[in-house]
Every structure is written in C-alpha cells, then in structure tokens.
Amino acid sequence: MVRLVVDLNRCQGYAQCAFLAPEVFAMHGEEGLLYNPEADEAQREKLAQASAACPVQAILVEAMDAPAEAVSGER
Ligand code: SF4
C-alpha cells in the first residue's frame, strides 16, 4: 500500500495526475479532485510520475506521517 496526500488547497485541477494515474486520481467536475489515499503498491511508479508532473506539487507520496505544517507550509 502506498499512502499519499493531495494538498487540495494547492491543487488547481490540472488533471495531470488523473491522466498519469487514473486508477488513483479522478476529476470530479471542473476542479474537484478525488483520489485514493491508500493506493495499491502496483501504482507506486505511476504515483511518482503523477507527483512529479503536478504543476503545483500538490501530491505528496508517503507523506501521511509528516506534520500538518510541513504539508501546507513549504514552498
Ligand atoms: S496534477 Fe496536481 S493540480 Fe492537477 S489535479 Fe492533480 S493534484 Fe491537482
């Protein structure tokens, strides 16, 4: 299992993630993003690509244990 977090305050709905890892991310309407926070291990590589492709770096993989300030504070 791969844990991930999307900072939805940062997400601008570019949908790069849904394109690269459709099993994990899905767009819901114009800007709403739905995702599976506990993705299958087989999705790890796609998740890394999606995370790297996100224009606003909103996808944090394996970041569940990070303090909330670290998630929202950096950059
Ligand atoms: S690629 Fe980033 S900005 Fe675009 S929908 Fe996914 S998380 Fe949001």
Q: In CATH, what number is assigned to the domain containing residue 49?
A: 3.30.70.20
Q: How far apart are CA 58 and CA 11, in angstroms?
A: 6
Q: What is the Å distance from ligand 1's center to 34 Cα?
A: 10
Boundaries of domain holding 68: 2-73
pTM of the model: 0.79
Our answer on whether the CB atom of 72 is closer than 6 Å to any ligand 1 atom is no
The two counts, helices (H) then strands (E), for the chain are: 3, 5
pLDDT of residue 32: 87
Q: Ligand 1 centre from 61 Cα, in Å? A: 13
Q: How many domains does the chain have?
A: 1
pLDDT of residue 29: 84
Instruction: For residue 12, give the ligand 1 atom closest to its CA.
Output: 3
Write out the chain's pLDDT in tens, 75 residues: 999 999 999 999 989 999 999 999 999 887 789 999 999 999 999 999 999 999 999 999 985 454 555 555 555
